[in-house]
Amino acid sequence: MSTPPTPPDQPDQPDEPDRPATGPTEPLTSGDPLGDGPERPGATPPPPPAAAAPTGPRRLTRSSSDKVLGGVAGGLGRYFDIDPIIFRIGFVVLTLAGGAGAIAYVAAWLLVPADPAPGQPPAGPSRGLTYVGVFVLVIAACVALGPGLFLIGPPLVGLGLIALLGVALWRAAEDRGGDGGTALRRAGLGLLLIVVAGVAFVAVTIGAAVGGGAVIAGLVIAIGAGLALAAFTGGARWLVLPALMLAVPLGFVAASGLEVNQGVGERDYRPTTVSELRDGYDLGVGDLRIDMRGIDLPDGRTPLKINLGVGSARVFVPEDVCVASDLRVGVGYARVLDRDSGGLDVDWKHSPREDPGVKRLVIAGDVGIGAVQVVHQPDEIGDRDFRGEDFRGRGFDPLAQDDPACEATA
Amino acid sequence: MSRRGFDPASLVAGIAVSALGVVLLLDQVDAIDLGFGYLAPALLAVVGSILLAVGLTGRR
């Protein structure tokens, strides 16, 4: 109690005009300084209800007295009446297991207001959301207008979605009110919702990848229309979550060009004559290997088409063949002989000069998520190429000297 | 159940979600080719618009 509280965010207005005045209320416990101001041990008895400060659902704020960084875990622990160390351990574990903990912590830091100062009303909740909304829109504009900022987009999409989910769960728990005895049940409900959301995310991704994308897009439109119509009868903001749960995985599948209805497994092709070459090699998920080193390709163009949903495609070509390539990789890595590129939306086109009398292999490839590599020998590919350890990122250099195999011999 | 009146945030969210759905549908019918370069700002714009609308109109 000796530590002065952190000054709160200044609310746009002391009271939200549209907050229901008759929401579920509960008496403040000794550990809950969130409703009418901070706890004051030894102070005079609380005034009668009629003279009390504005009442309403118990609110989550960042703790100013029990904090390591931003007071998020301290505030959560106080809100749910659980030891904050549990939340701290959770944040650390989730951070080490992929970084989600750090993202969630930062999102909560941004969205959850700090403890109100003594004598001040609780911080208004709308200002933080306004700031976050403006921030996300500015980033959206930067991502759209500046190719250099392209790669920072996807992590921010995840950050925005996590923040939105967190706000929704927070509001859902807050609106239900209740006392500390129901906190565990609410936390369990929140975790259940997250698990359900994760399962739904995977299910929608699979559904979109096997060809149900148009139906899912229609559902998104229908939910959006429902949201807009519901605005005139009080609103149905909760519909945003199912809409995004459908739209985000569908967008991911659409952007990556992911299609998994072409089979699953390993495919190893070793054609020895031109007639054994297929028109196209398709695989949904797995490892596709095409060894063309046993073929004596004729002079002129020989087309080769590859379509892979998720996985690794490797093409081994003879030393005397000039390779032209037109490759698209949604997420992953592309390599053609000594050039490579990786990341999102890899769009690779390379067409060496077409000299007469040259054996020319024209590769057209489309990979959703994964790697496509065209090399002469297997030892040019490391075992871990799919995860990008071999990625050198030199990209396509139009001034680079073409493969000697592309030059006509006298 | 009482009528709670007009909620601008739901209207903004509905329009944004519908627009995103239309873009996704156009990709599904091969009218456009959606890549991450377009998807990322589109998603960010939708999420940002919703957050902004909720923030400006107040939460219920």
pLDDT tens for B2-58 read: 456 888 889 999 999 999 999 999 999 989 888 777 887 888 888 888 888 887 776
Q: Which positions in chain A touch B22 (Cβ < 8 Å)?
A: 217, 221
Are the beta carbons of B36 and A136 separated by less than 8 Å?
no
The beta-carbon neighbor of A143 closest among B28, B41, B53 is B41
State the Cα–Cα distance between residues A231 and A401, nearest whole angstrom: 61
Residue among A80, A89, A298 at smallest CA distance from A169: A80
Question: Has the ipTM of the complex gone over 0.90?
Answer: yes
Pick from A129, A217, A234: which is nearest to B51 by CB? A129
- B31: closest CA of chain A, how far (Å): 12
Give the pLDDT confidence score for residue A138 in this predicted structure. Answer: 65
**The pLDDT of residue A31:** 36
DSSP A201-245: HHHHHHHIIIIIHHHHHHHHHHHHHHHHHHGGGT--GGGHHHHHH
Q: Which residues of A touch B19 (CB under 8 A)?
A: 224
Note the helical H segments in A7-122.
Answer: 72-80, 84-96, 100-111
pLDDT computed for residue A50 by the predictor: 43
pLDDT at A19: 40
Contacts of B55 in chain A (CB under 8 A): 126-133
Angle between the N-to-C axes of helices A153-176 and B36-57, in degrees from 0 to 180, rounded to the nearest 10:
30
Cα A111 to its chain centre, rounded Å, is 19
What's the pLDDT at A14? Answer: 39
What pLDDT score does A187 carry? 62
- A133 with B22: Cβ contact below 8 A: no
What is residue A390's predicted lDDT score, i.e. its pLDDT?
Answer: 45
Chain A nearest-CA residue for B7: A231
Backbone angles phi, psi at A40, to 5 degrees: -130, 90
Cβ contact, residue pair A160, B39, below 8 Å: no
CA distances (Å), origin A279, targets A318, A328, A370: 19, 18, 22
Q: Do A251 and B52 touch (CB under 8 A)?
A: no
Q: Phi/psi at A109 (nearest 5 deg)?
A: -60, -40
Burial B9-32 (b: 16+ CB within 10 A, else e): bbbbbbbbbbbbbebbbebbeeee
User: According to the model, what pLDDT value does residue B47 have?
Assistant: 84
Q: What is the pLDDT tens value at each position of chain A, 410 positions in all? A: 334 444 444 433 434 334 433 333 333 333 333 333 344 444 444 444 444 444 555 677 888 888 877 788 888 888 777 788 878 887 777 766 555 667 677 767 766 777 776 666 554 445 566 666 666 666 666 655 554 444 444 555 556 566 666 665 565 555 555 555 565 666 666 667 777 777 888 888 888 888 888 999 999 999 999 999 999 998 888 888 889 889 988 988 888 777 777 778 888 999 988 888 888 898 888 889 999 988 888 888 889 999 888 888 999 998 888 888 898 888 788 888 877 787 777 888 888 877 777 888 899 998 888 888 888 877 776 544 444 444 444 444 555 556 777 776 65
**Chain A residues touching residue B4 (CB < 8 angstroms):** 233-235
CB A235 within 8 A of CB B7: yes
CB atoms within 10 A of CB A47: 10
Out of B21, B35, B58, the one facing A17 most closely (by C-beta) is B58
How far is A170 from chain B, CA to nearest CA, in Å?
12
Within 13 A of A260's CA, how many CA atoms are on the CB side?
A: 19
CA distance B30 to chain A (A): 10
How many angstroms separate the CA of residue A297 from the nearest CA in chain B?
Answer: 34
Q: Which amino acid is at A385?
A: D
On the CB side of A373, CA atoms within 13 Å amount to 28
Whole-prediction pTM: 0.55
pLDDT at B18: 95
The CA-based dihedral angle spanning residues A46, A64, A22, A26, taken in that order and rounded to the nearest 10 degrees: -60
Please judge whether B36 and A235 are an interchain contact, meaning their C-beta atoms are less than 8 angstroms apart: no
For residue A166, what are the CA distances in angstroms to A82, A171, A189, A321, B20?
Answer: 18, 8, 13, 55, 22
Put simply, the answer to whether B15 touches A255 (Cβ < 8 Å) is no
Please give the pLDDT value at position A215. 93
Is A228–B11 a contact, with Cβ atoms under 8 angstroms apart? yes
Contact between B20 and A16 using a beta-carbon 8 Å cutoff: no
- Across the interface, do B24 and A251 touch by the CB < 8 Å criterion? yes
pLDDT of A295 reads 87
